[in-house]
Structure 1
């Protein structure tokens, strides 16, 4: 049974811990330096914010979407 005041009321905070060692990071960065990674970034003018949000909602996001202000 869900106790509304106990389980749902007020903000909840979830914390996670990833077990990553310095060696893991070093190996990852060495590997990343060897692979030609090109991030995909699509800019939207602020006036196009609704379109960007629609694509986010419809899971049409690939890479990063950036709102350009000004």
Structure 2
């Protein structure tokens, strides 16, 4: 979140769609992270329309997600890695090569 806020322009808004139960949101330095009328928002629910509007924007920025791919036959390994917090970004089950 700090990096996103640091890359935001004056008056920019960072919207976070994540539920943090195990890891708290890191402490922010308001004089640096939220300076210049920057805004940090969180959302608990997101709709299909929200995603449809966001994807073209994400492609222009560009936002590149971090993923870790697993073959379908390694689904149990993927679930265990997810449970243990070993996946950085999103775990993806690949159905075909």
Compare CA radii of gyration and give the structure with the larger one. 1
Higher strand proportion:
2
Higher helix proportion:
1
Q: TM-score, normalised by structure 2?
A: 0.34
Q: TM-score, normalised by structure 1?
A: 0.44
